[in-house]
Amino acid sequence: MNILTFDIEEWYLERHVNGNRSKKFKEYDYYLGRILDLLDERGLKATFFCLGGMAKDFPEVVLKIAGNGHHIGCHSNRHVWLNKMTPEEVMEDTRIALDQLEQRLGQKVVSYRAPAFSIGQKNKWAFDILAECGITSDASIFPAKRDFGGFPNFGCHRPCIIDTGNCLIKEFPIQTIHLLGREIAYSGGGYFRFFPLWFTQRELNRSDYAMLYFHIGDLIPEESRMRTKEEYEEYFREPGTLFNRTKRYVKANLGKKHAYAKLGSLIRNHEFVSLSEAEETISEWNTIHI
């Protein structure tokens, strides 16, 4: 099964962090519209993890996605990474985010993805907080090394149940592959933009489980600008050295030119389900104790 997911935050970040340019809002609307039309044509449903701040500031975007019958999950409130917050802050952020989304949608939201897959060994306490807030399924685990976040010793690359000792949560991790002696992802973000389409398709055909993840910003050909030191430190909460800023800039823009066309081909040529559809079809779950 191939699970198709999008993380929806660009409008909110553009308004509050990246300059509030009206041109960018139009671009995001346009690319989201194309994705929704394409999914409609194919009769496919996906999961869209939306910021609580999106529901507050751009309810029309969240309602449009939900109105097309897609599954809505939560992607935190302001896109602050969970490994940069205290447990109290994570609790507050999650409660506000769910409240904003549920108020606009008029329904419970029970699925979650942390910004930048920011739940790892050091902050696995976050699962207890998510469960306390009513989350029952999660897609925040990146079971390999990663610049930020990542949970390399998670021990499972397929859907499973996380048992923290205090709570149970259904987990849908990113699927990784062995390549050149390393464990890496291929099915979303910068990895998807970097690898040629034939490679991604070959891996999808080889596996019976894949988790695809995209941001709308990944699909816009125009390069984003490099953040200033102040902007970088405010957003990433780490030193905004030229090295750090350049590294993020290169990663954010790698392979953007052909990303939308590649995703379009994937959607036309492969079957996908939303996370909630996937959850219904799985009858046997392995349990992972963390």
Nearer to Zn ion, 57 or 163 (CB): 57
CB of 75 to Zn ion, least distance (A): 6
Burial letters 226-238, b for 16+ CB under 10 A, else e: ebeeebbbebbee
Burial letters 110-124, b for 16+ CB under 10 A, else e: bbbbbbbbbbbeebe
Is 218 an interacting residue with respect to Zn ion (CB under 5 A)?
A: no
Is 7 an interacting residue with respect to Zn ion (CB under 5 A)?
A: yes
CB of 212 to Zn ion, least distance (A): 14
Nearer to Zn ion, 115 or 240 (CB): 115
Residues 115-154 close enough to bind Zn ion by CB under 5 A: 115
Is 93 an interacting residue with respect to Zn ion (CB under 5 A)?
A: no
Is 10 an interacting residue with respect to Zn ion (CB under 5 A)?
A: no
Is the Cβ–Cβ distance between 99 and 76 less than 8 Å?
no
Nearer to Zn ion, 159 or 188 (CB): 188
CA separation for the pair 108, 116 (Å, rounded): 23
Is 102 an interacting residue with respect to Zn ion (CB under 5 A)?
A: no
Nearer to Zn ion, 7 or 93 (CB): 7
Q: What is the DSSP letter of 255?
A: T
Which residue, 178, 135, 127, is CA-closest to 157?
Answer: 178
160 SS3 class: strand
CB of 282 to Zn ion, least distance (A): 25
Is the Cβ–Cβ distance between 285 and 161 less than 8 Å?
yes
CB of 64 to Zn ion, least distance (A): 19
Residues of this chain that bind Zn ion (CB under 5 A): 7, 9, 115
